Structure 1
Amino acid sequence: MGPFSKKWIDVLLGTTVACLGFSFLEGFSKGEALADVSSSSSPANKTVESSPPSSSSSSLNATREGLQSLLEGGRNYLGFEASEIPYSTLLKLYAKVGFQPLWFTEDRKSTCASAVIKMLEKADEEGLEIAEYAPFLKKLEGYVGADASKQETAAQEDLLRADILLSYVLLQYISDVQGERVSPKKIDKVLYLDNPKIDEPLLLLDLLQKAPENTCEWLEKLSPQNPEYKALKGVLKDLKSQQVQGKEEKILSSGPTLKKGSSGKRVLELREALASRGYNSGGTSDIFDESLETIVKAVQKNLGLSVDGVVGQDVQEHLSKRIEDKINQVIVTLERWRWMPEVLGSKYVLVNIPEFEARTYENGQHIFTMPVIVGRTYRETPVFSSEIVNVIFNPTWNVPKLIAVQDELKDVQKKGADYFISKKIHVYKNGTEVDPRRVNWSEVTKQNFDFHLKQDSGKDNALGRIRFTIISPFDVYLHGTPKQELFDKTKRTLSSGCIRLEDPLKMAEFIFGKDSKWTAESIQNAIDAEKTETIPLQTPVKVYIQYFTVFVDQSGTPRFMEDVYGQDKEILKALKSRRAQAP
């Protein structure tokens, strides 16, 4: 964006100061702020009258004009070409405070400059890259010294440049810590999330205005404040401390599958790797015995893997992780939390895909956790946030085209038309129902499939007895399932994208609420009636279908889950591809 004219800046200044009048514009009157506004911009071309300026007023005007002059330098307003923060954003910030310095004031006393610098130097505590801010801090040091220690002897122009530069890098930090580093949708199409819409200047000025005088506590409020995010910061801090102290966990070398009866050096490695992660390895024998199998099963259960006691590729991958890998996993999860709303709502459901669990919350309290089944690795459950708008008892199922041609077509070709009849699946062509026995299914292909399939409600319906409708661009819902035996598995990537609930009746009770007429008994009566019934919700319930591979459980223990869809790898790659802009 090109430089703004001084006249345009003055008009903007007059408008913003007249409207806002922030309390920290001490010594800078409204009349002084408007003194330079062009007469052509005043109502009815009236001239703004003012008394002769005092020395203090003249000094303020000189400072303001100095900042305006630097900002008029266009993309070189920092003394180098800048692109991360748009020129208009800096202009907006300074216009709203009457083009007064924010950090290096007239009396040369630092406000929160040193605190801001220290915060930026510890950006890695938020899972951010210090290297992305270091070049700017180095440039800032050239103007005012390390930690702004030389500002009292700095030239006036250097102070103004330092002020703009610190604002620039702080606004970039706010953008980053609020979740705008990378675009989820550009990383993976199933990451159906938008970056938070942040107005960095307004956020900063709002915190400054509300902060107690002479304190910098507002800096702590720049990052997400939810307890999950804070807990993950603690995990990150602990991991980095272990890394500095050289407390690396033992690694299991890659190789063939280990199971009960295996023996040799890698069994000893397995025991050491388990012991270094806090598991009782069961002795020092190089034979994979029953006690070791029991321990492996416990590890698999904690990781959300299939529990068979066999050390295959998935367990080996976990036991080969170094602290650096875990740190990266936490960094990605912190980024995911930044994409979440700051306030999740008074009542909501949170589905965590890698954990195969759904949690319900109301009024800040965790109500219950429920096992779920999520999409297969080739039919991933999308990551998105939305609302549950109605509950359907005894739902019918309109089979999505993808499932119809990839699954149902194969089944009917293999089992014959009676398959559709036994499953109560109706076949429609051009809106008219056709007898599946009159179709030569052997000649039907994915390419010429022009049928619509609809399954009746009932005990065999793929959606079970209850469906929870979610507003989304996907045919994805929360619902029951006739295949309850699948919940016996630990790794439950088994659906075609929807989220199957172990106990949909319990979920319905929660969704309707304690004050609703829909009690457990009335819900069961509605199901037993075998009638399809849709119940709109007067107040939709928030639902978050998310993908957190690291979380802190109720006992305070960090749990690292398998990256079942490989999403974390792609997000980490996108984050690492960012490079600091060298000034």
Structure 2
Amino acid sequence: MTIIKRLTFSAFLAFLILPLFAANPASAQSLAFKQAVAEASASDRDIAAFYKENGFQPIWTSASRADRLRRQALLDALSNASAHGLPVASYRADEISGLMRSARSDRQLGALEVTLSRIFLDYARDIQTGILVPSRVDDGLVREVPLRPRKATLAAFSKSSAKGFLNALPPKSAEYARLMKEKMRFERIVGRGGWGAEVVATSLKPGESNNSVLQLRNRLIAMGYLDRTPTSTYDNAIISAVKAFQVDHGLNDDGVVGPRTMEEINTSAATRLSQIVVAMERERWINMPLGKRHIWVNLTDFHARIVDDGKVTFQTRSVVGANDPERRTPEFSDVMDHMVINPTWNVPRSIATKEYLPLLKENPFAVSNLDIINVRGQIVSRAEMDFSGYDETNFPYDLKEPPSRGNALGLVKFMFPNRYNIYLHDTPAKSLFGREKRAFSHGCIRLKDPFDFAYTLLAKQERNPEGFFQSTLATRKETVVSLREPVQVHLVYRTAFTKAKGNIQFRGDVYGRDGKIWRALNNAGVVLTAQRG
């Protein structure tokens, strides 16, 4: 209802100001108007270049039908900005309305012309590719946002259907559309007061019967996981509801409310709403073609997936970087172009000097699985070595682990060469995949089922992908296998994400990044809204 009122008002406002501009139709092209446009745009290179190239002709402030439609379309879009989780106040809609009503002289119209273009470009950038600059929020957010050229955007808008152009700006992904729906749903939940009282307990087990079980029952009913029931006992119905909740929150679905499950159950609807708003911002950061086939690694979900034509065709559990400043997995996109079967592990210098050098100082024969390589590429005999004089700054050797089943990279690695030295790989440490929270690596992504992952990738180019892989593996020699069709890889971090069917999914903020993003969005003027009724 609120949005409808705003749309009606903006349409009325556009009609209201039309006589003002029509009163002097030639004024918009006067010398005073052009000088005002030039002066107002002098500090903005893109806007200045646009008006210089179009001969300082108006696209907003003339009496033409095209300009009127642009004004109305912009006002309509700004009135609906909150639906996208955008900083509504920053677009100064009320101020614009005042300027439109008060503009009389050519110079005032020229200044208003530039103001409208500037606000349009701010809105276009925000809704298309995000409000924030990721790297300014967290140094692990190294994603390159696909920003559109501002002058080209303004030029294209001036030649297009205004309403159609503005409607085409937000991401067109199914995920973004579903997140918008969930945002509206959670706004209604927040407007109704959330899910009721929190459960006052640290844990609960099946069979218990107390006030905390009643609170758990009521909260599960409010969340939609449990049908209404008079039970006051932690019975089979509650066990099933808890299991369903655990699945949707990435928890071990044992039906027992332990501390982690309790923490998630007691998380407020407003907090969940903020996660959804953050996820929408993140979706704008990646508003580009993801690839007909692509690899999607959600760090918070501890899974890697192969996606073909929008459908997940393979998925496996993953282990990601530990929550340590030097080990957190960064977020970025790149292109996988080869895999290495029977890989050699070239130990990163940071690991060699910080983890292995102290061991070598104590015992030169420590970490015997590694070869010590000098600057000439020769293996050095440990019997002749004294490591006591070396530290992180002067250690002159490389450490390498030859191919083997015990190799830290396992038996295959998947390469998308990047400056961060991140890749996907096998691992001999299989037990970690049974953990609920799987943040243990030095930054690279370990896969639970790397062979099946390889078979799926090779199926595009080999008649017998499994046979090809296994015969290559049997050589025990390091072998590079190029992918004839390189595959885009997206390392993402979503604490809220949707499924085509089923409930919205929430995950833990393993690195604290989404908390930082929400605070930055809030500082930029994004606020949570609640809908009543």
Task: Sort the TM-score into its range (normalised by shorter chain).
Answer: 0.7 to 0.9
Which of 334, 339, 346 is equivalent to 1:391?
Answer: 339
Separation in 2 of the partners of 1:578 and 1:233? 20
Q: Whole-Å Cα distance in 1 between the matches of residues 249 and 232 of structure 2?
A: 24
Q: Which moved more, 1:484-493 or 1:251-260?
A: 251-260
Equivalent residue runs for 1:252-267 within 5 Å: 252-253=198-199, 256-259=202-205, 264-267=210-213
Of 168, 183, 187, the residue aligned with 1:221 is 168
- How many Å separate the matches in 1 of 2:69 and 2:240? 60
Matches of 2:349 and 2:409 in 1, distance apart?
Answer: 16
Say whether 1:273 aligns with 2:219.
yes
Which residue identity lines up with residue 68 of structure 1 in the other structure? K
For residue 571 of structure 1, report the CA deviation from its aligned partner. 0.9
Which stretch has the larger CA shift, 280-289 or 547-556? 280-289
- Could you tell me how far apart the structure 2 residues matched to 1:370 and 1:539 are? 22
Q: Choose 273-282 or 527-536, whichever is displaced more.
A: 273-282
Partner of 1:237: 184
- Structure 1's 475 and 263: CA in aligned 2 closer, same or farther, altered over 3 A? farther
Q: Say which of 90, 105, 111 aligns to 1:132.
A: 90
| Structure 1 segment 41-440 matched on structure 2, within 5 A | 60=26, 63-74=29-40, 86-107=43-64, 110-133=68-91, 136-145=92-101, 157-211=107-161, 216-244=163-191, 246=192, 248-253=194-199, 256-259=202-205, 264-280=210-226, 292=238, 295-307=241-253, 309=255, 311-378=257-324, 379-405=327-353, 407-408=355-356, 420-421=367-368, 424-428=369-373, 432-435=378-381
> Is contact 1:304-1:354 (8 Å) kept?
no
**Cα displacement string for residues 466-500 of structure 1 (whole angstroms, at most 9, x for unaligned residues):** 11112212221111122334333332223221111
TM-score by length of 1: 0.76
Question: Which residue identity lines up with residue 69 of structure 1 in the other structure?
Answer: Q
Contact 1:374–1:494 at 8 Å: present in 2 too?
yes
By how many angstroms is 1:287 displaced? 5.7
Structure 2 residue aligned with 1:466, among 385, 392, 412? 412
Change (3 A) 1:391 1:64: farther
Q: What is the letter of the counterpart of residue 162 of structure 1?
A: L
Aligned residues: 500
Deviations 1:323-376 (A, max 9, x none): 221221111111111111411223221111111222223345543333222122
**Matched position secondary structure for 2:491:** strand
CA deviation profile, 1:136-188 (whole Å, cap 9, x unmatched): 2222222334xxxx99xx66555444333222211110121123522211211
Answer whether contact 2:28 2:106 (CA < 8 A) is retained.
no
8 Å contact kept, 1:306–1:491: no
Deviation at 1:447, TM superposition (A): 8.0
Give the secondary structure class of the aligned counterpart of 1:354: coil
SS at match of 1:473: coil
The more displaced of 480-489 and 459-468 is 480-489
- Distance in 2 of aligned mates of 1:277 and 1:532: 52
Give the letter aligned to residue 462 of structure 1: A
Question: SS in structure 1 opposite 2:159?
Answer: helix
Contact 1:251 / 1:321 at 8 angstroms: preserved in 2?
no
- Cα drift, residue 523 of structure 1: 1.1
Change beyond 3 A, Cα 1:324–1:232: same
Distance 1:457 1:115 in 2: 62
Question: 1: distance between equivalents of 2:506 and 2:340?
Answer: 35
Q: Is the 8 A contact 1:428 1:452 kept in 2?
A: yes
**Residue 91 of structure 1: CA displacement?**
1.7
Contact 1:420 1:436 in 2 (8 A): no
**Which digits, 9 at most, give the CA deviation of each residue in 1:405-441, with x for residues without a partner?**
5555688899x777634xx322346655345577688
Change in 2 beyond 3 A, CA 1:427/1:267: farther
Contact 1:260–1:288 under 8 Å retained in 2: yes
Cα offsets for 1:69-96 (capped at 9, x unmatched): 2134357x8xxxxxxxx52232223234
Q: CA–CA distance in 2 between the matches of 1:538 and 1:198?
A: 30
Q: What does 1:441-480 align with in structure 2 at a 5 Å threshold?
A: 452-480=398-426
Deviations 1:234-276 (A, max 9, x none): 21122223333x1511342565344457664333322222222
Cα distance in 2 between the residues matched to 1:119 and 1:59: 26
AA partner of residue 66 (structure 1) = A
Give the percent of matched residue pairs that are identical in Structure 1 and Structure 2: 28
Contact 1:282 / 1:292 at 8 angstroms: preserved in 2? no
* RMSD (Å) for aligned C-alpha atoms: 3.5
> Using CA pairs below 8 Å that are at least 6 residues apart, which structure has the higher relative contact order?
2
Residue pair 1:281, 1:292 contacting (<8 A) in 2 also: no
Q: Secondary structure at the match of 1:118?
A: helix
Separation in structure 1 between the aligned mates of residue 381 and residue 219 of structure 2, nearest angstrom: 60
Please give the alpha-carbon distance, in whole angstroms, between the structure 2 residues aligned to 1:365 and 1:297: 25
Distance (Å, rounded) in 1 between the aligned partners of 2:108 and 2:270: 40
> Which is further off, 435-444 or 292-301?
435-444
**d(CA) in 2 for partners of 1:435 and 1:259?**
59
1:98-143 Cα offsets, whole Å, 9 max, x none, are 322212323587222122102102111111021212xx22222223
Whichever of the two has the greater Rg, that structure is 1
**More divergent stretch after superposition (249-258 vs 328-337):** 249-258
Separation in 2, partners of 1:74, 1:456: 65
| Cα distance change, pair 89–257 in 1 and its aligned pair in 2 (3 A) | same
- Answer whether contact 1:272 1:281 (CA < 8 A) is retained: no
Residue 534 of structure 1 and its aligned partner are, at CA, apart by 0.9
Please list every run of 5 or more consecutive structure 1 residues that lacks an aligned counterpart in the other structure. Answer: 1-55, 78-85
Aligned with 2:123: secondary structure? helix
CA contact under 8 A between 2:300 and 2:494: conserved in structure 1? yes
Q: Which amino acid aligns with 1:71?
A: V
**Paired residue for 1:80?**
none
Residues 64 and 99, structure 1, Cα contact 8 Å, conserved in 2: no
Unaligned runs of 5+ in 2: 1-21, 527-533
Give the match's secondary structure for 1:462. coil
SS in 2 for 1:172: helix
1:529 Cα deviation (Å)? 1.9
Contact 2:47 2:118 in 1 (8 A): yes
Paired letter, 2:99 = Y
What is the distance in 2 between the residues matched to 1:307 and 1:436?
A: 50
**Structure 1 CA distance for aligned equivalents of residues 408 and 220 of structure 2:** 40
Residue among 442, 445, 450 paired with 1:504? 450
The SS at the match of 1:275 is: helix
